[in-house]
Copies of this chain bind each other. A is one copy, B any other.
Amino acid sequence: MSRPTIADIAREAGVSKGAVSFALNGRPGVSEETRQRILQIAERMKWRPHSAARALGGARAGAVGLVLARPARTVGVEPFFAQLLSGLQAEFSVRSTALQLLVVEDTAAEIEVYRRWASEHRVDGFVLVDLQVRDPRIEVLEELGMPTVVLGGPGRHGRLPSVWADDREAMLSIVEYLAALGHRRIAHLAGLPAFQHTQRRIRALRDAARRLGLSEALSLPTDFSDAEGAAATRTLLARRERPTAIIYDNDVMAVAGLGVATEMGVAVPGELSIVSFDDSVLARIVHPPLTALSRDTFLLGEQVARALLAVIDDPAAAVDLKTPTPRLTVRESTAVPRD
């Protein structure tokens, strides 16, 4: 016989389907003795619930969605997402919730997927990342009424609960460290200007520069790619008065920038200090290893997952969780500027 159903178990145990359902879901309605007997039979028959049948009864779909809008071939270059994914998985799988992952080309397609998955009842909630300035996705998700957790910054994201890291403090800690070393001309290769965290970092740098009396603090927007990171670094290093330190918004650009410096004969850290806003193997394995901001992305993923499960359980739950502020791991790419 193929796949046993609760009806099979009921027949075997000589009870009704309802009783079996009660027993298997650990809810009152059957005696402890009967429950044990049913559980044993289910075990013996290797019964597993049919996820579709469960979902049909208006209950959970047992899955959550994560949709990324990026050019298909560029995903996975950044270790950040892989780490986040691992953390999400770790927590979701404990509560036997599956993760549906989809990579699409742009935000319009992403919204379309939210609509489709919601109306197909395929998922119970969403994780929203890469928060943009005036993000159109928030409105859609609120309208759909799907439990959603935003991985973003402080402040309101409509009525959606959020888990966030303090980008501002993180940037301040980097700038203060560089200023303490004696750097006065600092450049910042920022990410996509449309992202909220990019804006927060740019603002933090500007504020810190004013407060610490830096003579220069320039933020250049990029698309996070190694190509733009390299190009912008080349431009910066070709100037007459070049910066003595560059802060890169991700590890890929930082490594590319390091390559450019080496190629142009600019000594790191002698003539140029490099700091990466993301830590990963990448930052560790290059030479010299890069000073980088270490955040526990895996933990972040776990927290987001936990928050989402809480919201699914109780849609009224208001979550606004600040994760530990990342700390700077000093390696060999930063030093006192040579005058």
Copies in the complex: 2
Q: How far is the CA of A237 from the CA of B133 in the complex (A)?
A: 51
Contact of A77 among B61, B85, B103, B280 (CB under 8 A): B280
Closest 9 CB pairs of A and B: A76-B82, A52-B55, A48-B119, A259-B287, A72-B86, A52-B52, A256-B285, A51-B120, A262-B287
Q: How far is the CA of A239 from the CA of B83 in the complex (A)?
A: 37
Any chain B CB within 8 A of the CB of A73? yes
Q: Does A52 lie within 8 Å of B48, measured CB to CB?
A: no
Q: Does B285 lie within 8 Å of A226, measured CB to CB?
A: yes
Q: Chain A, 100-131, contact with B by CB distance < 8 Å: what is the 0/1 string?
A: 11111000000000001001111000000000
Q: Does A76 lie within 8 Å of B72, measured CB to CB?
A: no
Residues from chain B with a CB closer than 8 A to the CB of A143 are none
What is the minimal beta-carbon distance from A38 to any residue of chain B, in angstroms? 18
Any chain B CB within 8 A of the CB of A182? no
Interface of A is mostly: helix
Q: Does B100 lie within 8 Å of A98, measured CB to CB?
A: yes
Residues from chain B with a CB closer than 8 A to the CB of A63 are 100
Q: How far is the CA of A259 from the CA of B283 in the complex (A)?
A: 11
Q: Chain A, 41-58, contact with B by CB distance < 8 Å: what is the 0/1 string?
A: 000001011111111100
Ordered by A's residue number, 23 sampled pairs between the chains whose C-beta atoms are within 8 Å are: A3-B121, A46-B119, A49-B120, A51-B52, A51-B121, A52-B52, A52-B55, A52-B56, A52-B121, A53-B56, A72-B87, A72-B90, A73-B86, A75-B82, A76-B76, A76-B79, A81-B82, A86-B103, A90-B103, A98-B122, A252-B281, A258-B287, A263-B287
Residues from chain B with a CB closer than 8 A to the CB of A76 are 76, 79, 81-83, 85-86
- Which of chain B's residues has its CB closest to A123's CB? B98
What is the minimal beta-carbon distance from A101 to any residue of chain B, in angstroms? 5
- Which of chain B's residues has its CB closest to A254's CB? B285
Q: Does B226 lie within 8 Å of A284, measured CB to CB?
A: yes
Q: State which size class the interface on A falls in.
A: 35 or more
Any chain B CB within 8 A of the CB of A282? yes
Q: How far is the CA of A217 from the CA of B229 in the complex (A)?
A: 38
Any chain B CB within 8 A of the CB of A93? yes
Q: Does B98 lie within 8 Å of A99, measured CB to CB?
A: no
Q: Does A56 lie within 8 Å of B50, measured CB to CB?
A: yes
Q: Does A77 lie within 8 Å of B79, measured CB to CB?
A: yes
Any chain B CB within 8 A of the CB of A209? no
